[in-house]
Chain A
Amino acid sequence: AQSVSQHNHHVILSEAASLELGCNYSYGGTVNLFWYVQYPGQHLQLLLKYFSGDPLVKGIKGFEAEFIKSKFSFNLRKPSVQWSDTAEYFCAVNGGNYGGSQGNLIFGKGTKLSVKP
């Protein structure tokens, strides 16, 4: 069964600090990878996604993620965080197949990011 691990439960940073949130997945086949963000009191929104091609993916609000196949990782990065980036971040993966449950997203447990002004 697929699983997704997010290494940090809660990260606290000061504004302008650099951010890297870890995400590892267990599925060995072709995968599609997503990062979603949930701002306080709001629903989940897509930050970025990776299906194929350039392993460095750029998303909204200055976020990027790098897919490293050999490490089964898809870490999220931002060079300089802002107070408005305070949110919970979820990594998600599916197996890329349309059959059965493999097309459904498996979410990590999330990482809360608190940015101090």
Chain B
Amino acid sequence: NAGVTQTPKFRILKIGQSMTLQCTQDMNHNYMYWYRQDPGMGLKLIYYSVGAGITDKGEVPNGYNVSRSTTEDFPLRLELAAPSQTSVYFCASSYGRAYNEQFFGPGTRLTVL
């Protein structure tokens, strides 16, 4: 199993550009999550999904959008990139929610200039 994979690993965007961060898991997990990690701030939940076709906002959803058309994929879309979105983005998945370990991808380091 590859686990959770993310692409790209690194990206530099200009202000106002858009991009999609890809996330795929091959563990048949129902739950998927997007976090951002900023230095000294821990991880903040952006969006999560409890299954294909079902998504919900986390703590910091502004400026992002998600979709979940399949169990495996959970892309994160940035429509109008802003410097405040410079961060490291992690995708994670879990079999259940409360009692289950979340498995994390390797992350995408995004810089918005």
Give A contacts to B, CB under 8 Å. 4, 9, 32, 34, 42-46, 49, 51, 90, 94-98, 101-105, 107-110
Across the interface, name the chain A residue whose C-beta is closest to B44.
A107
Q: A98 to B41, Cβ gap below 8 A?
A: no
Within the assembled complex, what's the spacing in Å between the Cα atoms of A90 and B58?
19
Within the assembled complex, what's the spacing in Å between the Cα atoms of A45 and B105?
10
Q: B104 to A104, Cβ gap below 8 A?
A: no
Q: A90 to B90, Cβ gap below 8 A?
A: no
Q: B40 to A44, Cβ gap below 8 A?
A: no
B99 at the binding interface (Cβ < 8 Å): yes
A-B contact count (CB 8 A): 53
Distance of B17 from chain A, by nearest CB (Å): 26
Q: B40 to A32, Cβ gap below 8 A?
A: no
Contact of B42 among A32, A103, A104, A108 (CB under 8 A): A108
Within the assembled complex, what's the spacing in Å between the Cα atoms of A96 and B22?
29
Smallest CB-CB A-B distances: 9 pairs: A103-B97, A109-B42, A43-B104, A107-B42, A107-B43, A44-B104, A103-B98, A46-B101, A43-B106
B74 at the binding interface (Cβ < 8 Å): no
Give B contacts to A, CB under 8 Å. 33, 35, 40-45, 48, 56, 58, 90, 92, 97-99, 101-102, 104-107
Q: Which of B33, B44, B107 has the most CB of A within 10 A?
A: B107
Q: List 11 other contacts, CB 8 Å, given A46-B102, A94-B97, A101-B58.
A: A42-B106, A43-B107, A44-B43, A44-B102, A45-B104, A51-B99, A96-B99, A105-B45, A105-B102, A109-B40, A110-B42
Across the interface, name the chain B residue whose C-beta is closest to A112.
B40
Across the interface, name the chain A residue whose C-beta is closest to B40.
A109
Across the interface, name the chain A residue whose C-beta is closest to B56.
A101
Within the assembled complex, what's the spacing in Å between the Cα atoms of A109 and B58?
17
Contact of A9 among B40, B48, B56, B92 (CB under 8 A): B40
Within the assembled complex, what's the spacing in Å between the Cα atoms of A49 and B56?
25
Note all chain A residues with C-beta closer than 8 A to B90. 43-44
Note all chain A residues with C-beta closer than 8 A to B35. 107
